[in-house]
Structure 1
Amino acid sequence: MRAAKGGLRVAMVEDQPQVGGSCTHLGTIPSKAFRHQVRQLVRHRRNPLLQGVTDLPDVGWPQLLSRVSDVIGAQVQVRSGFYFRNRVQVFNGRGSIAGEGRVRVNDTHDREWLLETRHILLATGSRPYHPADVDFSHPRVYDSDTILSMQHTPRNIIIYGAGVIGCEYASIFTGLGMRVDLVNSREHLLDFLDAEISDALSYHLREQGATIRHGEEYVAVEPDEEGVTLVLASGKRLRADALLWSNGRSGNSQNLGLETVGLEPNGRGQLQVDERYQTQVPNIFAVGDLIGWPSLASASYDQGRFCAGMLCGDPVRQVANVPTGIYTIPGISSLGPTEHELTEARIPYEVGQAFFKNLARAQITGERTGMLKLLFHRDTLELLGIHCFGYQATEIVHVGQAIMSQPAPHNTLEYFVNTTFNYPTMAEAYRVAAINGLNRLRR
C-alpha cells in the first residue's frame, strides 16, 4: 500500500488461493482468534453467577475452527479491498525470480506471466521446521500450520518445543480441558523474558494443568493408529492422543529462483539484508520472517512499509524498540532490558510493581492474575524496561512504550505520577507501579 500510495505500479504475487499470507491464514490471526474464544470459555466457567449451571456448552476444537474461519474471511475481505482500491494487481500463483528485474509467475490457470520491474520485494514468510525423522504426514502428528485443520479434540496432547508458539498453544489446549505435556529443550520457559515473568508463566501453565518438562531432547516420534509416543533422550516415553511439533521455523526461500541472481539463504532459509532491507543483489529487497529476527507480524508490517517508503524517496528507517507480545492465557508483553541484562550492564536501576489483584478494574473483571513491572534508573528516573503479565498485557505495554520513546526529561516515572488516569482501568497500573518504585527510593 505504501508503494502504491507513493505512485509506483505494484504487482502482488501470492501462491495461496486468498491473500493475507501466513499471518492471516496460519499464524497470528488464527492462533489469537482461538485464544480469544478459549479465554471467553474459561471466563464463562469461572463466572460465579454460573456456578452450579450444568448445561454449559461443550466446545471442542472443531467448534472453534468455524469461528476462526469467520475472522480469517473478514481479514481477507479487508485486504482484498485494499488491493482493489489502490489498483494493485494480484497474481495468484507461484512466483520465482527469472533474472535481474524479472519475476516469472505460474498462475492457478496454468498460465505463465513474466513481470518486469525495477524492484523486487520478497516477503514470503516462514514455515514450521520439519526434521527428516518425524512423519508429519501421519494424522496424529501436527505442526503449527496443520493443527488448524485438526478435526477432533484430543484428550491429551504433547507439545514439543516451548517457544512462543508452544506456550501459546499450551494455554489454549489447557483452557479446553486437555492434558498437556509441554517439552522444553531449555532450562526455563522463554528465557529471553524477565525471570519473574517467565516464572509466573510456568506457574500458571502448571496451575491450568500442563506438565512442563525442561531440558529434554527428543530421540524419536512413534505415531500409530491410537496416538503418538515421544521418546526422549532422558529415557522417558510420553504417550498422548496427538503431538504438536513447534520447534523452530525456516524461511520460505526454496524455489524462489534465488540462484539465478546469486543469492544464497543461510541454514535457516533466511536472507541477509542491509539497513535498507536490500539483499546482496541491488534492487532485490526482503522483509519479515524471511530475514529472521524479530519474526513478528507487527515488525514485518513496518519493515515492508519502511522499505517501500524508501523506494518512494522517504528517509531510510529501520524497525526498532519492538515490544514483545505473547498471547498465552494470561498474556505477556515486554519492552526494553530485563533485570538480568541491566545488572550485567552495571546500570543502577530500581523496580516499581503493580499487582493486578489490587487494581479495582481487575477486581471488577475477575482478572486478578498478573503484574506490571517498571524498571527505571535510580538517579534520573528514566524508564528503562516494561514487563507485564496478565489481563490486557499486550495493550497496556503501549502506554509505557510511548513514554520510553520521548526525549529526556520526558521519559521518566514522573509522567505516571503526575498524570491522571481514568479510574478504574488497567492502565492505572502505571501510576501504582511508579509510586511503588519511587517509594523504594525513599526508604
Structure 2
Amino acid sequence: MSTNVLDCIVIGTGPGGEGAAMKLAKSGLRVAVVEAHTSVGGGCTHWGTIPSKALRHSIEMLADYRRNPLFQRTRNQLEVEFPDLLRAADGVINDQVRTRYRYYQRNRVRLVFGRARFVAPERILVERPGGGTEELAARHFVIATGSRPYHPPDIDFSHPRILDSDTILGLQHTPRSITIYGAGVIGCEYASIMSNLDVKVNLVNTRDRLLSFLDDEITDALSYHLRSGGVVIRNDEAYTAVEPSDDGVVLHCRSGKKLKTEVLLWANGRSGNTRDMGLEEIGLVPNGRGQLEVDERYRTALPHIYAVGDLVGAPALASASYDQGRFVGAQIADGESDWSLIEEFPSGIYTVPEISSIGRTERELTAGQVPYEVAEADFQSIARAQITGHTVGMLKILFHRETLAILGIHCFGAQAAEIVHIGQAIMSQKGSANSLRYFTETTFNYPTMAEAYRVAALNGLNRLF
C-alpha cells in the first residue's frame, strides 16, 4: 500500500460528490475522486435529471410547434419518435460530461475510474474496469454513490418490455401504450413525455392523489392536464403481479384490475448504491433501501466517513445534494462551516406544464391554524404568457394576513422552476423584509413572467379587509 495518505477520497461524481470535491480542492486539500462508471457526472447526468429534462424540453418544443398557427400547414406532417428525443438528449449529456471533466482538471482533483470497496475504515480498494486494482488511503471519506431504481424481487426486469427510469433511455421505438407504476415525480414526468408523443398512458398511483406533498390546487391542476392529454390516472392502486409476454405486459392490481400495455415503466422508489462496498465490514450497515444514517453534519457512525445525496434519503434532489457536498467539504476542510443548509428549498417537477413550490401548503397552514390569505395570478392574463402561447398555469402566494409575511409559493405552468426563485429570495428575508408588499412596490420588466408576482400581490392585498 502506498504511504501517501490523501486528505479525502470522494466516492461518486454526481452532484453530491462534485460539490464535496470542488470545496475540498479549493481549500487546498489533496483529493481523489473514484467513479464506478466510464465518465463523470453520476446518475444525475447520465440517467436521471439531465436526460429526462432534455426529453421534456424537446417535447415542449414539439408541442409549441404543433400549437403555433405559423406552422398550421405542416404541423401534422411532423412525426417524432422516442429515439429521436433521446439523440437530442445525448448532446446535452456529452456537454455536461465535458464541462465536469474540466472542473476536476482545473482544480487538480485526481480522477480514479473503478469500483471502490472499503478494506479498512481508512482504506479502499479500487477495482479497475480493465482489470487490476489500486489501494488508496485517506483521513476522510465522502460517500456520494447515489441511487438506482428499486427492483422488487418478484418482477423480471431482464424482460425487454419491463423498464425502469434507467433502461427506458435505451428504448428504441415509441410504444403504442405504456403503464407507469408509481406516480411520484419520475412517473408524472414520463407520463407527460409519453402522452405528448400520443402514447396511451396508464399512470398507476399507490396513493389517493398525485404528488400529495404539493398544494392541493396544484396537484388538481396537474391531474386535469394529464387527463386532458389522454393519461388515465388510477389512484389508490397496488400491484399483485406483473406478467410479461411477447406482445405486452399485464399489471395485476389488488383491486382486481388488469392493465395490459405494450411496455411497463416501473417508477416506484429508489435504492441507495451501497451494495458490495464493504461497508458492513467496517461497521456501517445500510437500511433496507440501501441508505446510510447520518447526523446533522452528514457524518456516519464512523465520524471520518460522510455520506451525502440520495444515499441519505430525502430530499434526494440534485440541487440539495450539491449543497450537502459543499457543506461536508467545509466541515472536513475547516472543522466547521460558516454557512448552513437552508431548511426550505424549492422543488422542481418537470411535467408539462412544470411545477415548482417552496414553503407551506394551504393544507399545512389550515392544520396549523395560521391566519393566511391567498394571492394568485393566472398566466392567461400575463402578457408574456400570451406572447409565447403558454397561458396555462398560475402563480399562487400564501401570506400571513396580519404581517404579510410570505409563507408559501406554488407555481404551475411554463418556467415555474425559474419563477419560484424570485419569491424564494424574498421569503428568505428576515422580519419586515419578508413581505408581500415587496412585489407591489417593485417595478418588474414588462412583458415578463416575473410580472405575475405583482399581479398576484395586488390580488392578495385586495382580499384583505
TM tier relative to shorter chain? over 0.9
How far apart are residue 316 of structure 1 and its match? 6.3
Post-superposition Cα deviations, 1:207-230, rounded to whole Å, max 9, x if no partner, equal 111000011111111111111111
Residue of structure 2 equivalent to 1:106:
127
In structure 1, the residue matched to 2:48 is 27
CA shift for structure 1 position 398: 0.1
Q: Which amino acid aligns with 1:410?
A: A
- For 1:37-186, list aligned pairs within 5 A: 37-53=58-74, 56-186=77-207
Which runs of 4 or more aligned residues in structure 1 lie more than 4 Å from their structure 2 counterparts after TM superposition? none
| Partner of residue 432 from structure 1, selected from 441, 445, 455 | 455
Deviation at 1:280, TM superposition (A): 1.0
Instruction: Report the equivalent of 2:389.
Output: 366
CA distance in 2, matches of 1:278, 1:159: 36
* Alignment deviations for residues 355-391 of structure 1 (CA, whole Å, 9 cap, x no partner): 0001101011000100000000000000010000001
Partner residue, 2:370: 347
Q: Report if the CA contact (8 A) 1:123-1:288 is conserved.
A: yes
- Matched with 1:249 is 270
If asked which structure has higher relative contact order (CA below 8 Å, sep 6+), I would say 2
Per-residue CA deviation, residues 267-324 of structure 1 (Å, 9 max, x unaligned), is 1111111121111112000000000010000000000011101211133633421101
Structure 1 gap ranges (5+):
none
SS at match of 1:388: strand
Q: Matches of 1:317 and 1:230 in 2, distance apart?
A: 45
User: Post-superposition shift, 1:55?
Assistant: 6.3
Q: Distance in 2 between matches of 1:388 and 1:42?
A: 20
Q: Percent identity?
A: 60
Equivalent residue, structure 1, for 2:426: 403
Q: Residue 140 of structure 2 contacts residue 305 of structure 2 at CA under 8 Å; is this kept in 1?
A: yes
- Taking only aligned residues, the RMSD between alpha carbons, in angstroms, comes to 1.0
Tell me, in whole angstroms, the C-alpha distance in 2 between the residues paired with 1:282 and 1:206.
50
The answer for the alignment partner of 2:357 in structure 1 is 334
**SS state of the match for residue 387, structure 1?**
strand
SS at match of 2:410: strand
* Structure 1 residue matching 2:114: 3-state secondary structure: strand
Q: What SS does structure 2 have at the residue aligned with 1:398?
A: helix
Q: Match of 2:331, as an amino acid? A: M
Could you tell me which residue of structure 1 aligns to residue 344 of structure 2?
Answer: 321
Q: Would the aligned equivalents of 2:309 and 2:318 in 1 still touch at CA under 8 Å?
A: yes
**Secondary structure of 1:117's match?**
strand
Distance 1:316 1:73 in 2: 33
Secondary structure at the aligned position of 2:395 is classed as: strand
Tell me, yes or no, if the aligned pair for 1:303 and 1:319 is still in contact at 8 Å: no
In structure 2, list runs of 5 or more residues that go unmatched. Answer: 1-21
Measured at CA, do residues 52 and 41 of structure 1 come closer, stay the same or move farther in structure 2, by a change above 3 Å?
A: same
CA distance in 1, matches of 2:400, 2:76: 54
CA distance in 2, matches of 1:323, 1:84: 31
Cα distance per residue 1:175-205 (max 9 Å; x no partner) = 1111100000111000010000000000000
CA distance in 1, matches of 2:35, 2:81: 32
Q: State the shift of 1:260 in Å.
A: 2.2
> Which amino acid in the other structure matches residue 201 of structure 1?
L
**Aligned AA (1:86):** N
Q: Name the counterpart of 2:444.
A: 421
Pick from 332, 351, 359: which aligns with 1:311? 332
Q: State the AA in 1 paired with 2:144.
A: A
Normalised TM-score (structure 2) = 0.94
| Native 8 Å contact 1:372 1:429 kept in 2 | yes
User: Are 1:412 and 2:435 an aligned pair?
Assistant: yes
Q: Which amino acid aligns with 1:198?
A: T
Q: What is the distance in 2 between the residues matched to 1:369 and 1:282?
A: 50
Matched, 1:302 2:323: yes
Alpha carbons 1:93, 1:107 under 8 Å: kept = yes
Whether the 8 Å CA contact 2:66–2:75 is kept in 1: the answer is no
Task: Compute the displacement of 1:206 (Å).
Answer: 0.3
Are 2:65 and 2:75, in contact at CA under 8 Å, matched by a contact in 1?
A: no
SS at match of 2:169: helix
1:385 aligns with 2:408: yes
Alignment of 1:259-298 (within 5 A): 259-298=280-319
CA deviation after TM superposition for structure 1 residue 167, in Å: 0.1
CA deviation vs aligned residue, 1:88-139 (integer Å, no higher than 9, x gap): 1111100011212111101113121111101000000011110111110000
Q: In the alignment, what sits opposite 2:30?
A: 9
TM-score normalised per structure 1: 0.98
For 2:291, the aligned partner's letter is Q
Decide whether the 8 Å contact of 2:200 with 2:231 is kept in 1: yes
2-side partners of 1:262 and 1:55: how far apart? 61
How far off its partner does 1:54 sit? 5.8
Contact map agreement 1:140 1:223 (CA 8 A) in 2: yes
Change (3 A) 1:319 1:96: farther
The alpha-carbon deviation at position 57 of structure 1 amounts to 2.5
Q: Tell me how far apart the structure 2 counterparts of residues 281 and 261 of structure 1 sit (CA, whole Å).
A: 9
